[in-house]
Amino acid sequence: MELLSGADMLIRSLQDEGIEYIYGYPGGAALHIYDALFRQDKVKHILVRHEQAAVHMADGYARATGKPGTVLVTSGPGATNTITGIATAFMDSIPMVVLCGQVASTLIGEDAFQETDMIGVSRPVVKHNLSVRHPDEIPEVIRKAYYIASTGRPGPVVVDIPKDMTTPNERYEYAYPKKVKLRSYNPAIRGHAGQIKKAVDMLMAARRPVIYAGGGVILGKASGQLTELTRMLGFPITNTLMGIGCYPASDKQHLGWLGMHGTYEANMVMHHSDLILAIGARFDDRVTNATEKFCPGARIIHIDIDPASISKTIDADVPIVGPVDAVLKEMLSLVKESKDKPDAEALAAWWKQIEEWRAFHGMRYETSPDVIKPQEVIEMLCKLTNGEAFVTSDVGQHQMFAAQYYKFDKPNRWINSGGLGTMGFGLPAAMGVKLTHPEDEVLCITGEGSIQMNIQELSTCKQYDLPVKIINLNNQALGMVKQWQDMNYESRHSQSYMESLPDFIKLAESYGHVGVKIERKEDLESKLREVLAMKDKLVFVDIYVDRFEHVYPMQVARGSMKDMWLSKTERV
C-alpha cells in the first residue's frame, strides 16, 4: 500500500471521490493541504476573494450539476467567513463538503491564534460535521462526508482538520474506502407501497386536485417522472420558488409558482382544491401564509425524503417518506395500470374555473413610456436568451421579478437562495455555474444593494475568465425593504436608500471587465443584444429601473392563500 501524509491523503481522497473543482482561500492552518494541492493537477482550486463567496460558488455548482460542491478554507476567520454560505446551502438542502483547517490538536482549547470551535459554530447549520482525530482516518472521513452530504435529504457537511493531521513527514497507508456504512444513518430508498396505493386511489377520486412541487423534485432528479405523471393525470401543477423548472413553465398545465409572490391562479387553485399532491416541498411560511387558514377543503398527500418535513407545519393525510423519483415511478405505474381514471367531467369543470382565474390575470404591471420597468428587463432577457440561460439571483425585488418573468422549462437553471434569502449569493453562484458550463449563457440578476455584498468577486472572475453577465436592476434602493415600509410603515423609508452608489461602470472596468449603462427605455433591447453578443466578456449591465415599483401579487399578511394584493390599490 502507498504511504502518504495526511495532506496528500486528503487531496488523493478528493481525486478518488471525483472532485474536479474546489473553491477556497489559504491560511496558516491549511498550508500543508495547500502544499499538497500544489503538487498535483487533477483537483483544480479556484481562489476567491472572500470565503463566503467560495461557499456560494460551490453551491451554484451543486445546484446546476446536482453534484456536491467542495470548499477549502483555513481555521478561525476563514472558517467563520463560510457560515453564511453554509447556512444558505443548509436551508435549501444543497450537497456540499466544507473542509476547514484547524489549529493543531495539541493547541485546541487554548485560545490559540486563529482558533475557533468550528464544529460548535457550524452545528446548527450543517447536516453533519466531522473532525479528523488521526491522520489515517482522513480517507474514511472524506468518504463519509460526501456520502452524508449527497444522500437522503442533501445538505452541507463540515470537516474540521487540525493542522497536525496533515503534517508532511508523517505518512500512513492510503486506501480510499469504496463504501461507507453508518449504522445510524439509513435514508429511505423507496416509499411505502400501501401508502402509494392509497395516494393513487385518492388522486383518481379527486374533483379539484392540484400538484404542488418543490425543490425536492429538482434535488431528487425527478422532473421527468413528475412531468410524465402530471400529463398523464391532466391535473394543474404549481411549484415553489425552489421548484422553478421542475415542470416546464410554458406548458398549459402549469400555473406558475405559488406563495407570497406567486401567481393569482396558483394561489386560487391551491385554496379551492380538494386534494393537494405535495412532492418534495415543505409547506413553509412563504407558501402557506397563515397555516390555520390554509386550503380549508383540501386533503393532503405529502411525498418527501425527510420524515421531519411531513406534518411539520401542515398535517398530511397520506404521508409518504421516500426518494421522490422512486415514489413517482411507482405512482406512475399504478396510475397506468389503474382501471379507474380521474373523473373527466369534474376535471373539465375544474379547468374551466382555472381558466377564468387565469383570464383575470394577476401577473400584470403597468408599462411607462419612458421609465424602464424591472419586469420588462426580465421579459426581454428571457426573449433574447430563448428562456435557456442559467439565471442566478440575489435577494430582493429583482429576485421576485426574475422568478416571475423569466420562463424556465428546465430544472437546475433557476438558482437562488430561497430559504435563507442571502444577499450576496448571486454573483459567486453564477461563477460556480459558469466555470462548469462555459458554453451556456449565465445571467446574474441582482440589485445595487445585493451586488455590493460580494462585488470583490469581480476579481476572481478576471483571474479565471468567467464571462457571466451581471444584470443590475438598479432602483437606487433596498427595494424590497422599501416596499414593506411603503405597505406597513406609511412609507417611512428607514435605512432603505443606498446613497453614494459607486459608478458601477468604472468599477467593472477597473477590474478589467466591461460596463454598460442603460438608462433609456428605447436602448433596452439593442443594448442587451450587444451585451449578450459579447460572449467572452464579463459585462456589468447597470440598468436604471423604476424606483417606485412593487412586486405583485403579494399575499396579505396573516391571510389565507387566496388573499392577495394584485397592485398598489387592488386587493382580492
Ligand X SMILES: Cc1ncc(C[n+]2csc(CCOP(=O)(O)OP(=O)(O)O)c2C)c(N)n1
How many chain residues are in contact with Mg ion, going by CB under 5 A? 5
Per the annotation, the verdict on 235 as an active-site residue is: no
- Shortest Å distance, C-beta 419 to ligand X: 11
Say which entry of Mg ion, other proteins, ligand X, none residue 156 contacts (CB below 5 to 8 A, set by partner kind): none
CA atoms of 156 and 149, how far apart (whole Å): 6
Q: Which residues contact other proteins by CB under 8 A?
A: 119-120, 123-124, 127-129, 131, 148, 182-185, 306-308, 311-312, 315
Say which entry of Mg ion, ligand X, other proteins, none residue 298 contacts (CB below 5 to 8 A, set by partner kind): none
Per the annotation, the verdict on 530 as an active-site residue is: no
| Selected range binding Mg ion among 68-76, 145-153, 273-281, 476-484, rule: CB under 5 A | 476-484
Say which entry of other proteins, ligand X, Mg ion, none residue 68 contacts (CB below 5 to 8 A, set by partner kind): none
Of 123 and 252, the one with the shorter C-beta distance to other proteins is 123
E strands, 337-458, where?
390-393, 414-415, 442-446
Binding-site member from 37, 298, 466, 473 for ligand X (CB under 6 A)? 473
By CB under 6 A, tell whether 478 contacts ligand X.
yes
Say which entry of ligand X, other proteins, Mg ion, none residue 325 contacts (CB below 5 to 8 A, set by partner kind): none
By CB under 6 A, tell whether 394 contacts ligand X.
yes
- Shortest Å distance, C-beta 126 to ligand X: 19
What does 116-128 look like in DSSP terms, one character per residue?
Answer: --HHHHHGGGSSE
CA atoms of 546 and 565, how far apart (whole Å): 19
By CB under 6 A, tell whether 216 contacts ligand X.
no
E strands, 343-406, where?
390-393
CA atoms of 444 and 437, how far apart (whole Å): 14
How many chain residues are in contact with ligand X, going by CB under 6 A? 20
Per the annotation, the verdict on 96 as an active-site residue is: no
At residue 192, what is the residue type? H
CA atoms of 438 and 448, how far apart (whole Å): 26
Of 385 and 393, the one with the shorter C-beta distance to ligand X is 393
Per the annotation, the verdict on 506 as an active-site residue is: no
Q: Per the residue annotation, which of 17, 51, 376, 549 is the catalytic one?
A: 51
Q: Which of residues 479-508 bind ligand X (CB under 6 A)?
A: 479-481
| Selected range binding ligand X among 29-37, 288-296, 380-388, 396-404, rule: CB under 6 A | 396-404
Distances 515 to 383, 455, 505 between C-alpha atoms, Å? 22, 14, 4
Identify the bridge partners of residue 73 per DSSP, sorted by sequence position: 100
Say which entry of Mg ion, other proteins, ligand X, none residue 422 contacts (CB below 5 to 8 A, set by partner kind): ligand X
Cβ neighbours of residue 192 under 8 Å, at least 6 residues apart? Answer: 320, 321, 322
Of 120 and 296, the one with the shorter C-beta distance to other proteins is 120
By CB under 6 A, tell whether 477 contacts ligand X.
yes
Q: Per the residue annotation, which of 165, 480, 561, 564 is the catalytic one?
A: 480
Answer for the pair 436, 482: CB distance below 8 angstroms, yes or no: no
**What's the CA dihedral at 493, 474, 520, 533 to 10 degrees?**
-170
Q: Please return the burial class of 33, using the count of CB atoms within 10 Å of its CB with bins 0-12, 13-18 and 19+.
A: buried
Of 256 and 449, the one with the shorter C-beta distance to Mg ion is 449
- In a 3-state reduction of DSSP, which class is residue 455? helix
CA atoms of 241 and 295, how far apart (whole Å): 19
Say which entry of Mg ion, ligand X, other proteins, none residue 183 contacts (CB below 5 to 8 A, set by partner kind): other proteins
By CB under 6 A, tell whether 246 contacts ligand X.
no
- Residue 178 is placed in which grid cell? 469504496
By CB under 6 A, tell whether 298 contacts ligand X.
no
Q: Per the residue annotation, which of 20, 44, 67, 114 is the catalytic one?
A: 114
* Pattern 404-443, ligand X, x by CB under 6 A: -----------------xxxx-------------------
Of 68 and 449, the one with the shorter C-beta distance to Mg ion is 449
Q: Per the residue annotation, which of 163, 329, 434, 469 is the catalytic one?
A: 163
The angle at the Cα of 412, spanning 410 to 418, to the nearest 5 degrees, equals 120
Of 248 and 479, the one with the shorter C-beta distance to Mg ion is 479
Of 21 and 497, the one with the shorter C-beta distance to ligand X is 497
Of 152 and 215, the one with the shorter C-beta distance to other proteins is 152
Write down the residue that cell numbers 421579459 correspond to. Answer: 379
Write down the residue that cell numbers 431528487 correspond to. Answer: 220
Of 83 and 237, the one with the shorter C-beta distance to other proteins is 83
Write down the residue that cell numbers 488523493 correspond to. Answer: 12
Per the annotation, the verdict on 410 as an active-site residue is: no
What does 286-351 look like in DSSP terms, one character per residue?
Answer: HHHSSGGGS-TT-EEEEEES-GGGTTSSS--SEEEES-HHHHHHHHHHHHHH-S----HHHHHHHH
Q: Per the residue annotation, which of 38, 40, 42, 113 is the catalytic one?
A: 113
Distances 89 to 1, 93, 415, 474, 562 between C-alpha atoms, Å? 37, 6, 12, 27, 30
- Residue 545 is placed in which grid cell? 429601473
Q: Which residues bind ligand X (CB under 6 A)?
A: 394-398, 421-424, 447-450, 473, 475, 477-481
Q: Which residues bind Mg ion (CB under 5 A)?
A: 447-449, 475, 479
**Which residues are known to be catalytic?**
51, 113-114, 163, 480
